[in-house]
């Protein structure tokens, strides 16, 4: 017989006991491995989402609200790279019968080149002009089914030629509607999920041919997104940048170089103002270049005479302008034409006043005036008679008559006289006055530019050379032509998101610990049951080391089988979890359709960890067992190794520790008063745990005291039971600790469940006191609280009553809310009016920058940190969980001009309806991201009892803007759903852990009773009935259950005190009480069952055998 043979024989002989150990170890392993496999599955699903949304796309050039030529892609293709030009525009769609409307749509003008980059690599069938393709998410919303002809009414955003933020931008035709048939559904392989945003949620995509869309929005040959494929990975960023530098043209920056007169070229922009970088670079290319800034003034006054609405040009004194502007002309002098001099009766030396509007950041206008002294009066000839000095102003330049002007500016057409009309007829937009460029820029420079044109001298053949010189002098990234590494960013977002493996490990921790404890407990019983055998082996000369080796080898095989079984079981368990995540627990993964996946790595880790944990539990048991002397083991009694002094020493240590833990808990509670937010909650949670540990020591001490009570104290069955419960203190404490921990976790976690609806009307709640939240599909230019803003949409203020709006600017970016399982790389930014939120005291703050004023955290957004960074605020889930950041951390963005904009987090709100975005001041938004147009979201302040009515009214009135209105409570509940689902998962898995714990409890009872067979037989012999014995044994364990239940409950209440305080009336006390009682009842159930089973049969047999 060999040692291995010995082990195999023992394994078989004690197979029942071992089977129980195997099952417990398997449960722990399956839970652990299952958690890792859930992580694998989520990762695989995110990988799928990443591949289907980007296909072969590696980089993009995104012009956002502006356009480049579609030809840019073709030119770049000559360098051997694949490109696809797109038109991506926001919009909305309704079904042909108008019953269903879907907002926040991505309308994509595409062609075959786009679909060639999709995972399928080809264009879906039926994609032709005059019909649309929808993706599966949109098809589901529109109820589109194969084989059933469907028509939709598509409304697309009609991008303005100039920024909507400027008052000059036209208000009319901001959207275009058209009725189209649906040709089919683009599935995932055909780019149905195409999106540049790192988000696992399927976007709402609608595809139309690019040529058709270009025609509809009058942007022939234009695109605003260029996809670049680099499947071989050979083209480095440097090479691609070089190709872009070589191939871009002025037209790609919405600039044009046109001939003006015989030997003059002019660089201008269809967006009225030239980009700063373009204007500066163009001016530098040629020494005779002349910069122009032509502006529309409201009036030119001399004394009581006024010429309304005229053009004034500010220019460098170069080229043709050296004939107009005298060499020594100063910035307070003006040159006027004869028509104006005649109209105003003005002469050289007279003072004139220019009255003009200063455009504010967002469609605001301030009328200003500046005085000039007339330096010269010139005839209307040469360059002074050039109407092309005036840029194309929408609603103005294209008008035949002055009275047809519709420039969106607040002008009074009644002020236009016949002679003004006549001037327009004869000279059109020819400027009536000229000033120095410095004077013009001092008055009219704005965020969108400080020049309207640059003029150059040159012959006809010089155009291309000139264009090349200008192009060569400028970095295209300053014009928004930047290569964005979307694939790299997407991969980073995918791998940086929440690790669901770890998350589920955390959620399953109680279950895993229960499994481990059960493994340990069963192995303890297995080894304890053989302690006389162990004693005999020691007596016949086996060393403790050799015996441990034999048992360990046996345990190793048991652990191996358990871990292997658990790993296999995990394959089933994971599918159950995934099924749950796809159904009842959908909220945990933000509704993502999760796909099962398992990696060898996770299976191996799960197996090894499960095996190692089981083995460690066994090692611990063996270590204890081998410390007991052989003669003690042989006698079958409990260890007598403890000397009385040792016991007393440990008793003393126990008391000291309990005092230390209790004092630390009290200290934490006192200190928490000076802490805020999460630190306070953490302090209370810590205090709860410390209190739990000290209470465990007290209970242990109480058991010691009960065990040592004089005999006279035993006067009833209950007191006998109480004394008995103090016998096996280790096991008794296992019962108490298991229950206390279970109740603590269940109550502490359950208390964090919140009802989004409770207290929603409070300003300090997550709704900020706003009843509604709205978002539009297209930018809305004007403030909805203004009369003009409401008039634009036909909103009747009397119907709104006391409703008011907080307008939000939206700089698109990644959704950093908990609904996005990817790690947001460049989160969405909201621009808010700080005063509007500060005035209302909206939302509450969890943490603010150190040293900041506590009363008005919103004002932090207006402060200048001094290092050029922009202060930003977000809510806790966004910053901490979504971005993995903290107060003081920074994020770097690039604006359209290619400038790096650094945002610094200065405060964290509590979870709110603004989750997923960072918030900066509206002013900072204008300064740093001037490309952001209009308003796209609103916090609506209206009485909560009118929310349905106001929502319906606004949705109807602003249907053309694709306005979606949702209640703040629903929005908050959406975000809270994930957290609540996690809590549910924790409770369910924790519940399973408790069931395992209760099984352990039952086993302890059975084991105790087996060891006390003789004693029970004696009690039966002296007249105790079976029922009395049953009651006595039940009492013994129920005392322990009650102790555990109360210890857990008290400590849990301490740990969640801040939640109770913060959410008075919101805590589900009923549910928590029910759960605590359920745990207690479950414990009682197992005790009664185990006792009943143990006391079955003839319990007098042991006595008879004696």
Partner 1 sequence: MLELINVTKGYGNPDKPGYVPAIRSLSMKLDPGESMAVLGPSGCGKSTLLNLIGALDKPTGGRINFMGWDLTDLDEKKLAFIRNREIGFVFQMHHLMPQFTVLENVLIPTLAWPNTGKQAVYRKRAAELIEKMGITECMDRRPGELSGGQRQRTAVARALINSPKLLLADEPTGSLDHDTAVAVMDLLNTLNRTENISLVVVTHAVDLAGRFERIYTLRDGRLTREGSAS
Which positions from 278 to 317 touch partner 1 by CB under 8 A, shown as an x/- string?
Answer: ----------------------------------------
**With respect to partner 1, which residue has the nearer C-beta, 639 or 948?**
639
Rounded to an integer, what is the distance from CA 683 to the centroid of its chain?
A: 27
Fill in the per-residue mask, 516 to 545: x = in contact with partner 1 (CB under 8 A), - = not in contact: ----------------xx-xxxxxxxxxx-
Strands (E), 333-481: 333-337, 351-359, 365-378, 433-436, 453-457
Q: Could you tell me the smallest distance in angstroms from the CB atom of residue 14 to partner 1? A: 7
Region from 91-99, 392-400, 628-636, 1008-1016 binding partner 1, contact rule CB under 8 A: 628-636
How many C-beta atoms surround the C-beta of residue 400 within 10 A?
A: 9
Contact between 282 and 269 under an 8 Å Cβ cutoff? The reply is no
C-beta of 168 vs 633, nearer to partner 1: 633
* C-beta closer to partner 1: residue 380 or 630: 630
Contact 48, 198 (CB under 8 A): no
Q: Which of 336, 343, 342 is nearest to 311 (CA)?
A: 336
Q: Is 101 helix (H, G, I), strand (E, B) or coil?
A: strand
Instruction: Figure out which of the listed residues 177, 178, 377, 630 binds partner 1, where binding follows CB under 8 A.
Output: 630
Q: Which stretch binds partner 1 (CB under 8 A): 354-362, 602-610, 635-643, 714-722?
A: 635-643
**Nearest-approach distance from CB 885 to partner 1, in angstroms:** 58
CA distances from 616 to 18, 516, 606, 612 (A): 16, 10, 15, 6
- Give me the 149-168 binding string for partner 1, x by CB under 8 A, dash otherwise: --------------------
Of the listed pieces 3-11, 447-455, 490-498, 856-864, which binds partner 1 according to CB under 8 A? Answer: 3-11
Q: State which residue, 635 or 663, has the beta carbon closest to partner 1.
A: 635
Does residue 631 bind partner 1 (CB under 8 A)? Answer: yes
Q: Cβ neighbours of residue 948 under 8 Å, at least 6 residues apart? A: none
Q: Does 212 bind partner 1 (CB under 8 A)?
A: no
Task: Using CB under 8 A, pick the residue from 10, 229, 363, 477 that binds partner 1.
Answer: 10
Q: Which helix (H) or strand (E) holds 531?
A: helix 531-539
803 Cβ contact partners less than 8 Å away, ≥ 6 residues apart: 940, 941, 942, 946, 950
Which lies closer to partner 1 via its Cβ, residue 633 or residue 740? Answer: 633
State which of residues 232, 461, 643, 716 lies at the interface with partner 1 (CB under 8 A).
Answer: 643
Q: How many residues bind partner 1 (CB under 8 A)?
A: 30
Binding mask 13-42 for partner 1 (x = CB under 8 A): xx----------------------------
Q: Which is nearer to partner 1, 121 or 707 (CB)?
A: 707
**Binding string, residues 785-824; x marks residues near partner 1 by CB under 8 A:** ----------------------------------------
Q: What is the pairing mode between strands 935-941 and 772-780?
A: antiparallel
Rounded to a whole number of angstroms, the minimum distance from the CB of residue 1010 to partner 1 is 16
Rank residues 260 and 549 by Cβ distance to partner 1 and give the closer one: 549
Nearer to partner 1, 99 or 645 (CB): 645
Contact residues for 246 (Cβ-Cβ < 8 A; gap 6+):
79
φ and ψ of 86, to 5 deg: -130, 155
Residues numbered 543 to 602 that lie near partner 1 (CB under 8 A) are 543-544, 546
C-alpha to C-alpha distance for 973 and 757, rounded to whole angstroms? 8
Cα distance between residue 502 and residue 154, in whole Å: 44
Which one of 236-244, 631-639, 770-778, 1032-1040 is the stretch in contact with partner 1 (CB under 8 A)? 631-639
Among the residue ranges 10-18, 256-264, 829-837, 862-870, the one whose residues contact partner 1 (CB under 8 A): 10-18
Is 639 one of the binding residues for partner 1 (CB under 8 A)? no
Give the CA distances from residue 336 to residues 351, 376, 425, 510, in Å, rounded to whole numbers and listed in that order.
Answer: 12, 6, 19, 86
Q: Interacting stretch for partner 1, rule CB under 8 A, among 80-88, 629-637, 791-799, 1095-1103?
A: 629-637
Q: Which is nearer to partner 1, 128 or 635 (CB)?
A: 635
Stretch that binds partner 1, among 41-49, 125-133, 139-147, 632-640 (CB under 8 A): 632-640
The structure tokens 């302090």 sit at 683
Closest distance of CB 540 from partner 1, Å: 4
- Determine which residue in the list 1, 711, 900, 1022 makes contact with partner 1, applying CB under 8 A: 1
CA atoms within 13 A on the CB side of 348: 6
Q: Cβ of residue 751: shortest distance to partner 1, in angstroms?
A: 49
Six-digit token pair at 389?
């000095």
- Parallel, antiparallel or unpaired: strands 101-110 and 205-209: parallel
Q: Cβ 530 to partner 1, closest distance in Å?
A: 9
DSSP characters for 719-783? HHHHHHTTSSHHHHHHHHHHHHHHHHHHHHHHTT---TTTTTTSTTSTTTT-SEEEEEEEEE-S-
- Report yes or no: 504 and 38 within 8 Å, Cβ to Cβ: yes
Exposure of 589 in the CB half-sphere (CA atoms within 13 A): 28
If the CB atoms of residues 605 and 630 are measured against partner 1, the closer one turns out to be 630
Residues 436 and 439: their CA atoms lie apart, in Å, by 5
Nearer residue to partner 1 within complex by CB, 358 or 1010: 1010
The span from the CA of 788 to the CA of 408, in Å, is 11
Shortest distance, position 648 Cβ to partner 1, whole Å: 10
DSSP string, 894-925: E-TTS-EEEEEEEEEESS-TTTTEEEEEHHHH
Question: Measuring CA to CA, which residue among 411, 361, 448 is closest to residue 935?
Answer: 361
| Interface with partner 1 in residues 236-275 (CB under 8 A) | none
Tell me phi and psi for residue 847, to 5 degrees. Answer: -155, 140
Tokens of 47: 């990988």
Q: For binding to partner 1 (CB under 8 A), which residues are involved?
A: 1, 3, 6, 9-10, 12-14, 532-533, 535-544, 546, 629-631, 634-635, 640, 643-645
């Amino acid at each position: 017989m060999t040692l291995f043979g010995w082990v195999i024989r023992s394994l078989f002989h004690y197979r029942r006991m071992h089977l129980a150990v195997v099952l417990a170890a398997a449960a722990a392993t399956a839970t652990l491995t299952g958690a890792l496999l859930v992580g694998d599955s989520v990762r695989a699903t995110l990988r799928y989402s990443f591949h289907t949304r980007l296909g072969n796309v590696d980089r993009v050039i995104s012009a956002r609200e502006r356009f480049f030529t579609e030809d840019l892609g073709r030119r770049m293709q000559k360098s051997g790279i694949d490109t696809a030009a797109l038109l991506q525009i926001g919009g909305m769609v309704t079904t042909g019968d108008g019953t269903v409307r879907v907002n926040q749509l991505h309308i994509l003008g595409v062609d075959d080149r786009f679909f060639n980059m999709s995972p399928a690599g080809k264009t879906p069938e039926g994609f032709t002009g005059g019909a649309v393709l929808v993706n599966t998410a949109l098809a589901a919303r529109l109820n589109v089914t194969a084989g059933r002809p469907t028509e939709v009414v598509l409304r697309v955003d009609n991008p303005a030629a100039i920024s909507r933020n400027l008052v000059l931008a036209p208000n009319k035709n901001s959207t275009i509607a058209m009725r189209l048939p649906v040709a089919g559904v683009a599935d995932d392989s055909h780019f149905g999920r195409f999106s540049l945003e790192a988000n696992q949620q399927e976007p709402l995509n609608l595809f139309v041919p690019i040529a058709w869309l270009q025609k509809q929005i009058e942007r022939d040959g234009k695109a605003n997104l260029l996809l670049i494929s680099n499947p071989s990975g050979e083209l480095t960023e440097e090479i691609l940048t070089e190709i872009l530098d070589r191939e871009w043209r002025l037209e790609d920056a919405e600039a044009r170089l046109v001939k003006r007169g015989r030997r003059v070229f002019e660089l201008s922009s269809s967006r009225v103002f030239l980009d700063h970088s373009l204007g500066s670079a163009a001016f530098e290319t040629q020494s005779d270049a002349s910069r122009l800034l032509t502006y529309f003034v409201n009036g030119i006054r001399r004394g009581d005479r006024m010429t309304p609405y005229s053009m004034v040009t500010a220019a460098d004194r170069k080229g043709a302008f050296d004939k107009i502007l005298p060499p020594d002309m100063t910035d307070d002098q003006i040159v006027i034409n004869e028509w104006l001099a005649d109209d105003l009766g003005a002469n050289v030396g007279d003072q004139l006043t220019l009255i003009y509007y200063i455009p504010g950041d967002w469609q605001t206008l301030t009328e200003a005036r500046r005085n000039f002294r007339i330096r010269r009066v010139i005839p209307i000839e040469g360059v002074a008679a050039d109407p092309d000095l005036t840029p194309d102003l929408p609603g103005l330049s294209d008008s035949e008559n002055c009275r047809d002007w519709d420039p969106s500016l607040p002008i009074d057409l009644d002020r236009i006289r016949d002679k003004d009309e006549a001037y327009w007829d004869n000279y059109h937009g020819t400027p009536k006055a000229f000033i120095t460029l410095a004077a013009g820029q001092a008055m009219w420079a704005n965020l969108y530019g400080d020049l309207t044109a640059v003029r150059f001298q040159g012959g006809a053949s010089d155009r291309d050379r000139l264009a090349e010189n200008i192009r060569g002098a400028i970095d295209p990234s300053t014009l928004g032509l930047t290569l964005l590494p979307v694939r790299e960013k997407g991969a980073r977002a995918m791998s940086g998101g929440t690790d669901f493996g770890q998350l589920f490990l955390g959620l399953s921790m109680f279950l895993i610990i229960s499994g481990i404890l059960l493994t340990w407990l069963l192995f303890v019983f297995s080894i304890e049951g053989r302690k006389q055998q162990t004693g005999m082996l020691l007596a016949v000369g086996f060393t403790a080391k050799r015996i441990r080796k034999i048992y360990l080898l046996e345990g190793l095989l048991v652990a191996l089988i358990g871990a292997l079984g658990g790993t296999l079981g995990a394959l089933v368990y994971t599918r159950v979890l995934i099924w749950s995540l796809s159904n009842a627990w959908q909220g945990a993964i933000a509704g993502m359709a999760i796909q099962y996946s398992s990696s060898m790595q996770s299976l191996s880790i799960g197996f090894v960890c499960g095996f190692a944990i089981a083995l460690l539990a066994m090692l611990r048991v063996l270590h204890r067992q081998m410390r007991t002397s052989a003669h003690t083991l042989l006698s079958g009694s409990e260890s007598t190794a403890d000397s009385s002094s040792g016991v007393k020493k440990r008793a003393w240590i126990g008391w000291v520790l309990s005092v230390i833990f209790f004092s630390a808990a009290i200290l934490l509670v006192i200190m928490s008063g000076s802490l805020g937010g999460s630190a306070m909650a953490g302090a209370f949670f810590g205090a709860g745990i410390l209190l739990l540990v000290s209470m465990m020591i007290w209970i242990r001490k109480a058991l010691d005291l009960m065990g040592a009570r004089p005999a006279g104290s035993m006067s009833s069955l209950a007191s006998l039971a109480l004394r008995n419960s103090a016998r096996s203190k280790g096991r008794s404490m296992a019962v108490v600790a298991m229950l206390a921990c279970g109740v603590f976790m269940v109550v502490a976690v359950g208390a964090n469940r919140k009802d989004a609806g409770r207290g929603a009307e409070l300003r300090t709640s997550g709704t900020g006191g706003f009843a509604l939240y709205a978002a539009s599909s297209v930018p809305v230019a004007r403030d909805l609280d203004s009369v003009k803003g409401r008039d634009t949409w036909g909103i009747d203020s009397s119907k709104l009553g006391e409703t008011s709006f907080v307008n939000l600017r939206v700089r698109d970016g990644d959704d950093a809310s908990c609904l996005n399982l990817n790690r947001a790389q460049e989160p969405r930014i909201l621009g808010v009016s700080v005063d509007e939120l500060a005035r209302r005291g909206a939302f509450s703050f969890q943490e603010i920058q150190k040293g900041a004023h506590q009363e008005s955290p919103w004002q932090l957004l207006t402060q200048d940190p001094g290092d050029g960074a922009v202060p930003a605020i977000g809510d806790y889930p966004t910053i901490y969980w979504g971005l993995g950041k903290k107060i003081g951390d920074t994020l770097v963005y690039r604006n359209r001009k290619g400038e790096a904009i650094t945002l610094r987090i200065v405060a964290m709100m509590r979870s709110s309806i603004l989750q997923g975005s960072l918030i900066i001041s509206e002013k900072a938004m204008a300064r740093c991201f001037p490309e952001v147009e209009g308003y796209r979201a609103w916090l609506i302040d209206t009485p909560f009892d009118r929310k349905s009515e106001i929502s319906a009214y606004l949705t109807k009135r602003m249907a053309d803007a694709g306005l979606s209105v949702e209640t703040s409570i629903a929005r908050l509940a959406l975000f809270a759903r994930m957290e609540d689902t996690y809590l549910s998962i924790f409770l369910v898995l924790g519940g399973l852990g408790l069931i395992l714990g209760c099984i352990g409890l039952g086993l302890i009872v059975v084991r105790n009773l087996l060891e006390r067979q003789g004693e029970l037989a004696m009690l039966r012999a002296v007249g105790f009935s079976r029922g009395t014995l049953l009651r006595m044994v039940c009492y013994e364990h129920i005392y322990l259950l009650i102790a555990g239940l109360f210890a857990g409950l008290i400590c849990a209440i301490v740990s969640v005190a801040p939640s109770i305080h913060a959410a008075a009336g919101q805590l589900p006390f009923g549910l928590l009480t029910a759960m605590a009682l359920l745990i207690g009842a479950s414990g009682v159930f197992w005790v009664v069952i185990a006792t009943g089973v143990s006391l079955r049969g003839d319990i007098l047999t042991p006595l008879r055998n004696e």
